[in-house]
Structure 1
Amino acid sequence: MSKFKKGGKSELPAISTASLPDIVFMLLFFFMVATVMRDSSLMIENRLPSADQVEKLKKDRTTFIYAGKPSSQYKQFGEEPRIQFNDAFISVEDVQASVLQAQADMNEELKSKIVVGLKVDKDTHAGLVSDIKQELRKANTLKVMYIANAKAQQ
């Protein structure tokens, strides 16, 4: 008689799946927290000009106005540069009302600190930008910043 058995095939124990739901919910929670939702979909072509001194600002008190030619999927709006606010095309006359509405939707302490960011395509005429700025003055929104890409170092 031998002390050890030879030739007996032992089976591997089954893998425990008890912790699998915990792992799935941790991953789900992580992706829900880490995902950033897009503010608005661009309906215009937006090739920003480049600048050599660029500063990043917080987005909590910033409202963006886009200007440029409609992109290829919105060619039914013509070839002339258009103004986009949130997810809609607006006219120059509607800039004041749109900015005042965005200001009303903000937190009370941020209303007086609102900054309007102009993301204007580099091929857009300066007359449209001037018209937008005139409407912003009428809305008493005097803090305006121009959005540009950082110039690559040579």
Structure 2
Amino acid sequence: MMKISKKTSNRLPAISTASLPDIVFMLLFFFMTVTTIKDNTLLVDNDLPNADQVKKLTQKDRLIEIFVGKPSKELASVLGDEPKIQLDDRLAQVKDVGPYVLSELDKKPDAVRNLVTVSLKVDKNVNVGIVSDIKEELRKVNLLKVNYTTYEGNSEKN
């Protein structure tokens, strides 16, 4: 007697790609809502120094950033080589630091105003005099939490 058998293949069925566009658009919308775009252009050279004991600040909404350095190559021909202070997208004087910091503090929610830190991003070739002038202005407006932004690495390379 003859045995009849069905032909069966051991292959797995094809994976359905019908939900793939939904997943792609869901990821796209997620990254569009979570990603922030850096909105200020750097007008000063900002080669930060290295430090071997660094602590990362995780909550960027509690920072007010002040950049200090020599003007960029495009602006150096007009402004010279003296270190300048950048507040948002403009160059400023030391006397402008206090009002700027207070205006930025007013933009913060009431719950985090006491937790705000001023982050100084100072070029490693800038003299300490301008930094101490900025700190004096911050003392006048009673903002005493100051952070110096650096790169992690060997501090002897500075």
TM over 0.5: yes
- CA offsets, 1:64-104, max 9 Å, x none? 11100011122222211000011111100000000000000
Q: Find the aligned partners of 2:88 and 2:26 in 1 and give their Cα distance.
A: 33
Aligned pair partner of 1:136 in 131, 135, 138: 138
Q: Which runs of 5+ in 1 are unaligned?
A: 1-17
Equivalent positions of 1:38-53 (< 5 A) are: 38-53=38-53
Aligned to 1:65: 66
Structure number having the greater helix percentage:
2
TM-score (norm: length of structure 2) = 0.77
Aligned to 1:74: 75
Q: Which one-letter code corresponds to 1:35 in the other structure?
A: T
Aligned to 1:108: 110
How many residue pairs were aligned?
A: 137
Q: Which one-letter code corresponds to 2:61 in the other structure?
A: D
Aligned to 1:127: 129
Give the CA deviation at 1:130. 0.5
Aligned pair partner of 2:100 in 82, 98, 118: 98
Q: Which one-letter code corresponds to 1:68 in the other structure?
A: G
Q: Find the aligned partners of 2:106 and 2:139 in 1 and give their Cα distance.
A: 17
Percent identity, please: 49
Assess, with a 3 A threshold, how the Cα gap between structure 1 residues 24 and 145 changes in structure 2: closer, same or farther: closer
Assess, with a 3 A threshold, how the Cα gap between structure 1 residues 39 and 110 changes in structure 2: closer, same or farther: farther
TM-score (norm: length of structure 1) = 0.79
Q: CA RMSD in A?
A: 2.2
Q: Which runs of 4+ in 1 moved over 6 A?
A: 18-21
Assess, with a 3 A threshold, how the Cα gap between structure 1 residues 151 and 20 changes in structure 2: closer, same or farther: closer
Q: Which runs of 5+ in 2 are unaligned?
A: 1-17
Aligned to 1:37: 37
